Amino acid sequence: MDQYEIETELADAGELLASPAAAHLAYVAPDGTPRVVPVGYFWTGDEFVVSTAVTAPKVAALMARPDVALTVDAGHTPGQARSLSVRGRADIRIVDGVVEEYLTAARKGMTGEELAVFERSCRELYDRMARIAIRPLWARYYDFGAGRIPGFLRELADRIGR
């Protein structure tokens, strides 16, 4: 997949990326087994930023094995179902205080006093955080209600005339 194709898929997923939907991050743990964990994220336009405590198990795992997959899903019915799948490499940086993109991501789903309390709590809790940046190397966006589905499903549907 070339950079233009990646950028097109991500642009098509713009509404999904702007939503407060959580993502799921897949990585390989130190024992060699796969893990998938829900994460908050912020899409900068170039990379997905996931932030966490420096001591979170995924930090050490990603430092050792940075290849990851990330999905963002939304919709409660088949017609509303949308999904973005991304593959990339994680770049981990330890920062003092709270990662700014962490707070920016929270603003997608919180406002007013709820947001203010969250920000205060974060600033009290974290003296350092891990900033995990994932630059997409592959991306695919699906919008099931609009008929934008995986190729293998399209082939099956075409066989039965749907």
- For the entire predicted model, the pTM comes to 0.90
84 lies in which domain range?
3-159
> Which tokens hold the place of 61?
């795992």
The mean per-residue pLDDT over the stretch 105-126 comes to 94
Q: Round to whole Å and give the CA distance between 59 and 101.
A: 17
What single-letter amino acid sits at 18? A
With 80 as the cut, is the pLDDT of residue 161 above it? no
Decide if pLDDT at 162 tops 70.
no
Confidence label for 119 from pLDDT (cuts 50, 70 and 90) = very high
How many distinct structural domains can be found in the chain? 1
Residue 38: predicted pLDDT:
97
Domain CATH number, residue 65: 2.30.110.10
* pLDDT of 148 over the 70 cut: yes
42-43 β-sheet, strand order: 34-39, 23-28, 67-74, 82-96, 128-143, 48-53, 42-43
Amino acid in position 84: L
Per-position b or e across 132-154, b if 16+ CB within 10 A of its CB: bbbebeebbbbbbeeeebeeeee
